[in-house]
Structure formats: C-alpha cells, structure tokens
Amino acid sequence: MKAIIQTGYNKTQIKEMPSIPLSPISIKVKTNFVPLLRYDLLKINGQVPTKLPSILGYGATGTVVAIGNLRSSSLLNKRVLILNPWGTFQEKITSNIPPLTIPILDNVSNEEATGLIGGADLALSLFKIVKNTFKQIIIYGADSVTGLVLMQLLTRFTKVPFIPKARTLSANYLKQKINEYNIKPDIEATAQKNNLIIDLVGSDINDKLYQHIQNNDEVISVAQNDLLGVKFISKPALPKDYSFLMNEISNNRLFIPINQIFNYKNFNEAIEYQTTSPSRGRNLISFKD
C-alpha cells in the first residue's frame, strides 16, 4: 500500500507501507480522493510543527472494503467521507473510530464530498457563530473555498448583510462564483461603525485588520491565532455537520468549488501548483488506480 509520508521539512516521499491489520472494530476504506489544504502545506514547510515521519492528511473519501466483525456491515461497499487523525494520504485507510466514517449521499460526488473537508466544514462552524449577528459582516479572502461556502450559507439562511473582499487578481473569479452560486452580497454597503470582520487570509492582510481593530470592529480569524484584538476560531465539525452539508449539495442549495485533480504519483506537481496559484477551488489528490 502506497502512502505519502512527510519525512522532513519540505521533504515528502511516496512509500510502500504495510497495511494495518483489521481489528474487530476497524473499518477499512480504499481511498478515492484527499483534499490538499493550506494546512498540509504549512506542515510540509515547517510553519506548523508535526511529528516526523508521518502520513499527511486527516480527511478523505473512499469506498469501504472491509469491516471488523464487531461492527455493523451496513457500510460495506458504500462510499464514505472519513476523518482519521493518523493520516489519510494513503491508498487504504483503517479507522477504529466509528462516528468518523460518514456515508456519502447518492447524488453527492466523491469530489464534492472531499471538498467539504477543511473548508466547507469550517464555513459551517463560522456560520453558526455569526448567523445571528446584527452587525454588517466583511469577509476577507471571500474567494477561498471557506468564503464561498460561508457566503452561500449566509445567503440561503439569513438576511445578515455581508461584503466580500478579495485581492485584485481574484476579483473576476469571485464575481463569476457569486453569479454561478447565486450568492447575494450586500451591494448597498455603506461605511459603518461596528462591523464584524472575518479573516480567512492571515497575516498578509494585517494592515487592514489593524485598521478595523482601531475602528472598534469585532475581528475573528481562522487563519492566525496570535494577533492582539483578534479572536481565533478553530472548531472541529461533527459527523452531523457533514451530513447537513451533503444534504444541501444534494438539494442544489450548496456548491463546492473544485479546481485541479492530481494523481498521488504527481504529488510534488500538486504542491508546486497550489503554492504558486491563487485559490480557484479545492485541489484534490486522487488515489484511484
């Protein structure tokens, strides 16, 4: 079984690994796709410390190929989204935590389900935090996967006014996605006191965030946890959150932007592409033959 292992900073290898034996409570999944996240890049380049060596990734989609004899066999041969803190960038994933294997609804594609991990799930957590606000929301990094999903949820379920912000090179992409996904931003936005700022970018926009802090705006960030005056948000999604998001997709109320798909054998190419390209949807790594 092949796995993508991080062996050092800026060092990854595709290695042959022994398959983990099936225990009575295990479930074994043949991997279809894993999402390539900014978090993975930060681990690879050493900005996020990690144990070395380790298998990259914590989420995947795939098909259940074996189930331990103490677990219900109802998921056998079914497509699932699987979360596994011990790594998912591998051809087969063995999990011993039953709730973290979530069935994929029939009319949700493997690509869309994979795109829920590390972006749409975060958007749902943010949505729950901000949905009852009386403030005007300003979203920096609105063209990100998280931003596009958050704006769809705000449009479908609230009347909260929100203003998307993206850098100039992503303005056309953002406009196109706003139309395609029927997102309704606040076009009559006026300069207002007491805004709620959402930072999906990180330290590259700190000059703007400082201005907001000076204006007494409330600032929350998912991208940096050490900025004075900014509340950091990191909240794991629950299995029922993924089921909710899949239900929205299957009812055509939620769209997940997917960009490039790379075979795992071309992992270095995927890293290079993601490092040098703006966000145009989630890039995926395929483990299909």
Ligand X SMILES: NC(=O)c1ccc[n+]([C@@H]2O[C@H](COP(=O)([O-])OP(=O)(O)OC[C@H]3O[C@@H](n4cnc5c(N)ncnc54)[C@H](OP(=O)(O)O)[C@@H]3O)[C@@H](O)[C@H]2O)c1
| List of residues contacting ligand X (CB under 6 A) | 37-39, 118-119, 122, 141, 143-146, 166-167, 169-170, 200-202, 204-205, 222-223, 233-234, 278-279
Sign of CA dihedral 96, 56, 205, 230: positive
CA distance 108 to 253: 12
Taking CB atoms, the residue at the shortest distance from ligand X is: 144
For residues 96, 98, 100, 103, the Cα torsion angle rounded to the nearest 10 degrees is: 130
CA torsion angle 190 192 196 198 (round to 10): 50
The helix (run of H) or strand (run of E) holding residue 125 is helix 121-130
Our CB check for ligand X shows the closer of 144 and 286 to be 144
Q: Nearer to ligand X by C-beta: 44 or 122?
A: 122
91/218 with CB nearer ligand X: 218
Q: Reduced to 3 states, what is the DSSP secondary structure of residue 112?
A: helix
d(CA 270, CA 275): 8
Which is nearer to ligand X, 75 or 222 (by Cβ)? 222
Closest approach, Cβ 235 to ligand X, in A, equals 7
Minimum separation from the CB atom of position 184 to ligand X (A): 19
Q: Which two tokens stand for residue 168?
A: 């100039």
| CB of 287 vs ligand X, minimal distance in Å | 20
Q: Is 118 left (phi over 0), alpha (psi -120 to 50) or beta?
A: left
Q: Residue 4 Cβ, how far from ligand X at the closest point, in Å?
A: 19
The DSSP bridge partners found for residue 36 are: 283
Residue among 37 and 271 whose Cβ is closer to ligand X? 37
Q: At 93, list the tokens.
A: 């994933």
| Residue whose CB is less far from ligand X, 38 or 79 | 38
DSSP, collapsed to helix, strand or coil, labels residue 54 as strand
Question: Shortest approach of ligand X to residue 64 CB, angstroms?
Answer: 26
